[in-house]
Amino acid sequence: MEIAIETFIQKIKNYNICVFGDLMLDNYISGFCESVSPEAPVPVVEVIEEFSRLGGAGNVVANIASLGANVFPVGVIGTDKNGKLLKTLLSDISVSVDRVIAFESICTTTKTRIIANGQQVVRFDKEETSFN
């Protein structure tokens, strides 16, 4: 049975949706590259802009929230500054963080992309791969 997208969007506003998953922070550092470092053959990026977005399951939460549904993320983050920023980004889109649990013993999963001249040059990740 086909449902028109408009009907679906109207109906989703009545749903409570729980999203379980890896809550991540996506950081972007963007700028221009006009030279190569004298210390190593790597580009030197003049930073113009830095910003952060919800990543992983957080991105799913943001997309569902944008459709008007009540969405509840469930996941773990660290008590670090990236964890605090992730909670702020969720709160900024009116999403409850009551089910987001922060642990001192872990870092918040963070993926940082460096973009030069419109192209991703490198990505570096901070994440826990095992829990004790």
Under 8 Å between Cβ of 45 and 18:
no
pLDDT of 117 reads 95
Confidence grade of residue 2 (pLDDT, cut at 50, 70, 90): low
Average pLDDT, the chain: 93
Predicted TM-score (pTM) of this structure: 0.87
- Number of Cβ atoms within 10 Å of the Cβ of 85: 17
Residues 71-95: tens digit of each pLDDT: 999 999 999 999 999 999 999 999 9
Confidence grade of residue 3 (pLDDT, cut at 50, 70, 90): low
pLDDT of 10 reads 83
What phi and psi, each to the nearest 5 degrees, are found at residue 21?
165, -175
